[in-house]
Every structure is written in C-alpha cells, then in structure tokens.
Chain A
Amino acid sequence: MKTLLINTLLTITLLASAPLLAQEGPLRVGMSGQYFPFTFVEQDELKGFDVDVMNALAKEMGREVKYETANFSGLFGMLESGRIDTVANQITITEERQKAYIFSDPYVYDGAQVVIKKGNTEVESVEDLKGKTVAVNLGSNFEALLRELPYADEINIKTYESNLERDTALGRVDAFVMDRVSASQIIKEKPLPLELAGPTFSQITNAYPFRDTEAGRALRDEVNRALATLRDNGTLASISEKWFGTDITQP
C-alpha cells in the first residue's frame, strides 16, 4: 500500500513535470539573491551586477534567461543535478571546482578582503587574524583561502549561510572575509558600522561554472563568445561602472 502510494506520487510528479525534460528553453541561471550588490532583491525585484551581466549575455546569445534563486549552499547541487545550467554568483575559479566543473573566461577580477567592525583596532590586516574568530560564507572559497594561510590552525573559522555582515557589526565575530568589491559596496551603501582592514590578500577571478558534458561545453563556448563581444563593445565595463564606479571586469 505504502509503496504503491509513493509510486503513484512519483508518477504524478513525473507526468506533471515532463515538459521540463525538454532541452530547448530558457537558460536556467542559479543565484543566491543574497549577495549585495551582485545579486539581491528589492521590493520583489531581482537586481544586481550579476543579473545585469547575465541579461546582457543572454541578449547577445539570443536566449531567454530564467533565474532560480536558492541558498548559496544549494546552488552547486542544483547545477550538479541538472536543474540549472550555470551559476551567476561571483563563483571563484578554484582547483577543487575545476575538478568537477568547467569554467567560462573570467568576468570579474577581485581580491579577498578582511572586514571588521568599525573601531576594532585589534585587526588591521590578514596577519592579525591569528587567534581570532572569522566569518565566511558557507561553501564560498574564502574559507579555503583562510585555510591556506600558514597560521590557519590559529584562526577560528565560522561559516555562515547568510547575514555574516550583521554578526560582524554586532561583534559576535572579530572579522569576516569577502571579496573587496562587495565588501566596499556594503560599507558604502548599507547602515552597518564596518570597515576594511588592510589590503586584499589574494587575487581571485570569478567566472561561470558549467557541467563537464557535451551540452555544458557547448554552452560554455557560446557564453565565452558572448562575453568577448560584450568586453569588446564596452558593455561589461559600463555595467561595472554602474554598480561599482570602477571597472572590475579587467585584470
């Protein structure tokens, strides 16, 4: 009886979503919707640098885009299980990720930045993180960057699903590590008492990940061609100027 019920349920599901199986259709792009100013929501509208760039790319490619938002920790699972085609969420190219996915050409060049609560004089650069509690986003590569430091054992790394800026401002952690661009933007635009601590400590390049399949490789090539066009005609630079007042799309 029970298995029958489950089977019926599954069958209904399969039938109901059969149209999803078709390959044709919009480009399905995953993002967290929680990474200001790259992807965020205001009054129910999805906005940000990554939204603008992806829209421009899709227009260039002559395809529709469908955005799927989910918590960051769920995005790679969605990519892996074929529910989305790529992730537009400032995904940094790392060795680990390259083992599992293929990447487009980079479209953002940035650095890792330590951010502290305003007035915290104990942390002035990445060296001062020794013996401190540092927040990073769950699944982000900043945790890996911290673990590469020679004194990594002495850093208490705390991973967050979201809201680590708030916890740093509240003083629950000594600092958080994020990319310089969004960290500066958060400090500039949002009402949180935070400041940058020292210079960036690692160069990062961000790109779009794809599944390493025939379809994935074809899509990556298509995206690369569109990226090159947008770079040449100045679209990428102007989107970057709009959000950051500077061009972060060049090395």
Chain B
Amino acid sequence: MDVLNVEYMLGLVPVLLRYLPLTLQLAGIGMVLALILACLFAVVRVLRIPVLNQLTIVFISFFRGTPLLVQLFLFYYGLPQLVSALTVIDGITATIMGLTMHFSAYMAESIRAAIVGVDRSQTEAALSIGMTNGQMMRRIVLPQATRVALPTLMNYFIDMIKATSLAFTLGVTELMGATQKEAAGSFLYFEAFIVAAIIYWIVVELLSKLQHYLEIRLNKAYSR
C-alpha cells in the first residue's frame, strides 16, 4: 500500500476531468457577475453617492467579514427556512450567488484602490475640458484603473476557482466533490487528491499565462 498506485491515478484523470467544466462554469459565471457588482460598488464608493454608498459599505463589510462557507449555508439552507419557495435555489445557484457576493466585496475594494490610484491630474484634465463625471469615469479613469487592477482581479479569479471546492457541501458534485467520492470508494486518498491538485494547478497555470498576455496588451500604451 505504500507504493503509489499510478494505474489508478491515470484511470482517474478522465473521470475527474468530466467535472472540470462545472468547476469552471461556477467560477466563470461567478467572476463575470462579481466583476459587474464590484465595478458598481467601486464607482458608488468613489463618487460617494449618498445612501448607496452606506449600503455598499455594509454589504462589503458583511461579505468580507464572514466565511464563504457560512454564506453558502445561509443561501442554501437558511433562505428556504425563511421563505419556503426559495427552495428553488439549487446548489449551483447558491454557489454562484455566494461566490459572486463574497468575491465582489473583495474585488470592489481593489477596483476602488485602482480608481483612486489614477493620477489626479487625469481627472482634473478630463473635467477641465467639460466631461461629465460619467464620461470621465468611462473614458479616462476606468481604462487606466483596469491596468492597475488586473493582477489583483486575476488573483481573485484564481482564488474563486479553488473556492468552488466548497460546493460539494451543497450537493454540487464538482471537481473536488467527485474526488472525495472516488477517494472514499478506493481509500487511495493520496492518489485521488494529488490528481485533483494537479488538475487545479494546470488550470491556474493556464490562467496565469492569460494574465501575462493581457498585461502585455494593456501595457502597450506605456511601453516604447
């Protein structure tokens, strides 16, 4: 039993890969929604829009201040207890909701930091030629902030991919859930989990390559 069962590991690869699309789907949809939410939050915070600003602060505080697993349990088990019709929130939806809200709270802060980091002369110049706040944001500030925010946002996406491994607690058999069940059937824990780890690793490595490519593109205007 001390010898690594390579044959078992190789056999497990195609089985586990079947669950990778779901993992990527959870993280992908979660990331798009989280980005939209986070941008809205960041703009609200930067422009200090009354009422919305305060609400956003509370939202960010709650979703940064509580563990993701607690939030997932709240969405999945908690909400239907209050309103029984909310049983229609299935495990996949609850996971996406949890990932979206949790990560949007973090991402809002790093987007806000990127916006605030854009040099003041840029906003002053935009306003001096008669741009509205919205125009200034869209045309001058956000494009520059994107470049600054990209590395940290990519970081959150990578984190989110790994966070999908919590979904099995809500009955969603994604990559981690499939691995846990296979390991429980074979009792070859090391073999099963190392295969899962390598799959996650390769996916994240590919994303890092994408990030590198995007950074080069966004830096074009600055390189000579």
Contacts and interface: CB of A to CB of B under 8 A. Distances in A.
A40 B171 contact: no
Interface size class, chain A: 35 or more
17 contacts: A1-B52, A2-B40, A5-B36, A5-B37, A17-B89, A18-B88, A20-B87, A41-B185, A42-B185, A68-B171, A81-B81, A81-B87, A83-B171, A163-B189, A166-B187, A191-B1, A192-B1
B156 interface: no
A228 interface: no
A2 to B, nearest CB: 6
Contacts of A165: 187
Interface stretch (A27-35, A146-154, A195-203, A239-247): A27-35
B173 to A, nearest CB: 6
Contacts of A33: 173, 180-181, 184
A73 B40 contact: no
Contacts of B188: 191
Interface size class of B (residues with CB under 8 A): 35 or more
B97 interface: yes
B168 interface: yes
B56 interface: yes
A80 B80 CA distance: 9
B187 A162 contact: no
Nearest to B43: A1
Contacts of B181: 33-34, 40-41, 46, 69
Nearest to B52: A1
Interface in A151-169: 162-163, 165-166
A35 B185 CA distance: 8
B125 interface: no
B30 to A, nearest CB: 12
Interface in B161-183: 168-173, 177-178, 180-183
Given A2-B55, A41-B182, A83-B171, 16 more contacts: A1-B40, A9-B33, A17-B90, A34-B181, A40-B181, A41-B181, A41-B184, A42-B182, A42-B185, A44-B182, A47-B185, A70-B171, A71-B180, A82-B84, A162-B184, A166-B189
Contacts of B85: 14, 21
Nearest to B55: A2
B186 A42 contact: yes
A186 interface: yes
Contacts of A83: 87, 90, 171
B187 A44 contact: no
Contacts of A16: 93
B16 to A, nearest CB: 9
Nearest to B186: A42
A81 B170 CA distance: 12
A119 B171 CA distance: 38
B140 to A, nearest CB: 22
Given A33-B184, A81-B81, A166-B189, A21 B88 contact: yes
Interface in B24-58: 33, 36-37, 40-41, 44, 52, 55-56
B97 A2 contact: no
A23 B187 CA distance: 38
A20 B56 CA distance: 33
Interface string B42-84: 0010000000100110010000000000000100110011001
Contacts of A251: none
Nearest to A84: B171
Contact of A20 (B59, B88, B178, B189): B88
B8 to A, nearest CB: 10
A191 B171 CA distance: 28
**Closest 3 pairs (CB-CB, A-B):** A70-B171, A34-B184, A40-B185
A36 interface: yes
Contacts of A42: 182, 185-186
Nearest to A78: B171
A83 B177 CA distance: 18
